[in-house]
Structure 1
Amino acid sequence: MPLYMDVHRNVEGTAKDVAEAHKADLETQEKYGVNYKRYWVDEEDGAVFCLFEAPNKEAGAKVHKEAHGLEADEIFEVQEGA
């Protein structure tokens, strides 16, 4: 299954807020065939990065939209390096 990294910019909130949003993603992901693997938060710059497997990037966007409404600014298909 393809691997994606999304980027959320200008995020207002704390790492705790992002953890709650991620929890909502995990509760919604199965409906769209998505597997959210990890996320990273840069509170200082207001950025969040999410790594997920999905049949396509639109499926990942649908999970975010339904789970909490915080849609990504960009989604990239990526390949994991060693």
Structure 2
Amino acid sequence: MPKYIDTHPMGSLTSEQLKQLQKAPKDKFGVTHHDILYNKKENRVYCVLDAPNKEAVASHHKHAGIECEWIREIESTR
């Protein structure tokens, strides 16, 4: 499955909520979290996701009330 990275503000998300999201099963858009990186000081989250396509990533976030600033397809050495 393709991998994507996106970024958006952290907003009111806590580190504990991000950890729970990391463990979540595949959602109705076919998206799973591969990794979630964040910086509270800069109010920034970077999500690395397994998803069928870019639109699924956007829908996954929009369903949670989050608008991604950008979404890029990536490759991994893992």
* TM tier relative to shorter chain: 0.7 to 0.9
Root mean square deviation, CA, Å: 2.3
Give the one of 63, 69, 72 matched to 1:73: 69
- Runs of 4+ that moved beyond 2 A: 11-20
CA distance in 2, matches of 1:40, 1:65: 19
Q: Which runs of 5+ in 1 are unaligned?
A: none
Name the counterpart of 2:41: 44
Cα distance in structure 2, aligned partners of 1:72 and 1:39: 14
Q: Mark the runs of 5 or more structure 2 residues left unpaired by the alignment.
A: none
Looking at structure 2, the residues matched to 79 and 39 of structure 1 have their Cα atoms a distance apart, in angstroms, of 16
Instruction: Output the TM-score relative to the length of structure 1.
Output: 0.74
> What's 1:8 paired with?
8
Q: Which amino acid aligns with 1:12?
A: G
| Percent of residue pairs bearing the same amino acid type | 32
The aligned length equals 77
Normalising by structure 2, we get a TM-score of 0.78
Distance, in Å, in 1 between the alignment partners of 2:17 and 2:43 is 12
Aligned amino acid, residue 29 of structure 2:
Y
Partner secondary structure for residue 27 of structure 2: helix
3-state secondary structure, aligned to 1:58: helix
Over residues 4-24 of structure 1, what are the superposed CA-to-partner deviations in whole Å (9 max), with x where a residue is unaligned? 011114x3334245446x37x
Write 1 or 2 for the structure with the bigger share of helix. Answer: 1
